Structure 1
Amino acid sequence: MIHLHYWPTPNGKKVTILLEELGIPYTIVPCNIGKGDQFKDEFLKIGPNNRMPAIVDDAPADGGAPIAVFESGAIMMYIADKEERFYPPELRKRTEVNQWVFWQMANQGPKSGECGHFRRLGDRQGDQSYAVRRFTDEVNRLYGVLNNRLYDRRYIAGDEYTIADMISYPWTVNWQGQGQDISEFKYFKRWLDELSARPAVQRGLAVSAGPPEDLDSLPQEEKDRRAKLLYNHRARPAPEGGLLTL
């Protein structure tokens, strides 16, 4: 059984889409990033980067002890490899998938996240016009990368639907909030429409982690506490008594 520590963000939804496509049993362990669950000691044992998603597989393929995996790309590669679906075993095909999984993790996800952050921030922290323009344009460039990639192939890694598609899709459904006009990208739009019609994709997007919170009803003290948790992090001190010599 896969136990998914999850909150319904694009990074979480990548994994739920894969799990729904596979049709395997899994459980949701809510990780409320607004409340700061990702900083709790019990979560850090499986997600040392203070970020969800993370999984615990209590039935790994080697029959051994449960395995914990963090980082959404690594999670998807682990699950797809275990289930032998959506991750082709052939060298050249798998290399294509790997490239686009890493592209998403290193480019599409971080840049789209920064774009959304600065566009939502407005002028609450001063003039953000440069940051908004910088990341909106970069996200536009990345949509162009996808559009050109999908010009002559059905899916991102070729003719097969793979985790390369599932990992990129959730970051594209909010294209309007990213300040984009997808009429510029007709080949990308064809792909987006096809994936959006898949029942498993729809189920994966719909996975929740409990009833939604009414953030406006929170007291100002709690709003301030959460804002401090979510932004401008610095290093977490390491415990004393660790290994200093080999």
Structure 2
Amino acid sequence: MMIRIFLLLGLVLLVASFPLLNNWLSNHSGKSTTLDKDAVISIVEEYITNYPQRVIDLLTTGQAQAERAELTENIKKYKSELEDIAYPSAGNKDSKIAFIEFFDYSCGYCKMMFEDIKQIIKDGKVRVIFRDFPILGESSLKAVKAALAVHLINPSKYLDFYYAALNHKQPFNDESILNIVKSLEISEEEFKDSLSKNSSTIDKMIESTRNLAEKLNIRGTPALIIGDAFIGGAADLSTLRSKIVEQQEQ
């Protein structure tokens, strides 16, 4: 069905462009020139029938390029939201390059990447901003609320929670989350007080991240924004460092 839609779209675009093609030919040949529409359509239909994958590839590539250009513009448009200082961050606070990670604590690929993120922070070339983006159910939401509660108690403790939570191999529950919190030398009473007292702030932070992800058409994790470059999905340390260098050279 999708193949037929793509082919039909290509044919429609061709027919719609006939007036422009005729004008172009007339202007460049110096005399009136009219294309035989039926003959050209027949040729195009034959080409589409014989080489459907080529047509699909061209249309898909064009769509991907358009989406990429739109995303780049949106990254610039929402720069102030992406770099909101209210959200947890680490690394070089004075860097002009922001490295924003949309992630979920239950995401397997996010867990695979956290050692590389740790190294990026140690490299000290960028300011890493964490956008906790719970998309994998209630377990993820519990972890995110806990992370932000810790951040609001003591921002310097957030990164330790981030590392511990991404290193956690099982689904999150109240007990496992509390164990992580206690390992940060935050008492149960202080933690629960932050969850309660800051519940409205935490909910707004999560909702803001969800809204921002929707504006940027981010639907999965991890999603990384480095300067004005976007990486959808996991990337290795070499790729991350290369992207940072590219942004530094701009």
TM range, smaller chain: under 0.3
Higher helix share: 2
Query: Normalised by the size of structure 2, how large is the TM-score?
Result: 0.27
Q: If you compute each CA radius of gyration, which structure gives the higher value, 1 or 2?
A: 2
**Greater RCO (Cα-Cα under 8 Å, separation 6 or more):** 1
